[in-house]
């Protein structure tokens, strides 16, 4: 939790800046990270059979459906912030489901991740219920997943692999804002996207492909280092 807190606080301003400067390249790097993760999550399945493939399809379908859901409006009620914490940390534990995207769907991404995290000392009233919900959600879901993995290991892992595959549409780099609405604070909020194919004549496409490759290599390097550490112990 300390590592998560430090990374969120330290990266909040940086990510906000990078998204404003070049959103395409940021999404491209994230796309590479998730794309590479499909292999490492999928290879944990011990036996691919009818149940495993069915779970894979279900997981992919759920993630794709989430991508097309219409976001809710912002809500700063304590009970709703508490639920946001539970749902967000749950999606963070499950590979392929973006905690940030879930907060967007719930309408509170800007309130929590940009306004409150960037200035935590003036937004304790927002962060405290979110953190409380996250802690409770973390322990409840971790025990639940542990139980399910013992009973239905392959089906669970293949379901999570489907989540990872389906989430690729959420972070597809080449997309434009579709419908937008004006929030309570007068800020424009995107509620849908238009997905496009990369333009091979655009120089930014080359940079995006390079960053996708870097994202893939990053996950490979982390997995490799983790395997070496495990073998040494």
pLDDT 10s digits, 167-221? 788 778 888 766 665 555 555 656 566 778 888 888 889 999 999 999 899 988 8
Q: What percent of the chain clears pLDDT 90, i.e. is strictly above it?
A: 9
Question: How many whole angstroms separate alpha carbon 126 and alpha carbon 17?
Answer: 23
Q: What is the pTM of this model?
A: 0.67
149-175 mean pLDDT: 84
CB contact at 8 A, 114 and 19: no
Kindly report the average pLDDT of the chain as a whole number: 79
CA distances from 226 to 41, 229, 233 (A): 14, 5, 11
Categorize the per-residue pLDDT at 230 as very low, low, confident or very high, splitting at 50, 70 and 90. Answer: low
pLDDT tier at 20 (50, 70, 90 boundaries)? confident
pLDDT of residue 118: 67
Long-range CB contacts (within 8 A, 24+) of 45-53: 45/154, 45/157, 45/158, 45/161, 46/153, 46/154, 47/154, 48/154, 48/158, 49/154, 51/154, 51/155, 51/158, 52/154, 52/155, 52/158, 53/158
Contacts of 13 (CB under 8 A, 6+ apart): 118
For position 181, what pLDDT does the model report? Answer: 56
143 pLDDT more than 60: yes
Give the mean pLDDT of 117-130. 79
Provide the pLDDT for residue 21: 80
């Amino acid at each position: 939790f300390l590592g998560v807190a430090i990374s969120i606080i330290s990266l909040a301003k940086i990510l906000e800046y990078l998204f404003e400067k070049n959103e395409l390249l940021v999404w491209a790097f994230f796309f590479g990270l998730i794309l590479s993760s499909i292999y490492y999550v999928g290879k944990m399945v011990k036996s691919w059979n009818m149940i495993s493939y069915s779970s894979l399809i279900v997981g992919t379908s759920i993630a794709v459906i989430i991508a097309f859901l219409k976001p809710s409006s912002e809500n700063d009620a304590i009970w709703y912030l508490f639920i946001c914490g539970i749902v967000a940390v749950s999606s963070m534990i499950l590979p392929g489901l973006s905690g940030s995207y879930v907060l967007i769907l719930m309408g509170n991404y800007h309130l929590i991740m940009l306004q409150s995290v960037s200035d935590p000392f003036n937004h304790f009233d927002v962060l405290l219920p979110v953190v409380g919900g996250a802690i409770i959600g973390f322990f409840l879901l971790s025990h639940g997943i542990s139980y399910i993995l013992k009973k239905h290991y392959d089906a669970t892992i293949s379901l999570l692999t489907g989540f990872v595959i389906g989430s690729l549409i959420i972070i597809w780099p080449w997309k434009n804002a579709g419908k937008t609405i004006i929030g309570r604070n007068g800020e424009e909020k995107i509620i849908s996207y238009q997905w496009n194919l990369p333009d091979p004549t655009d120089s930014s496409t080359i940079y995006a492909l390079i960053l996708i490759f870097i994202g893939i290599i990053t996950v490979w390097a982390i997995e490799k280092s983790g395997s070496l550490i495990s073998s040494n112990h």
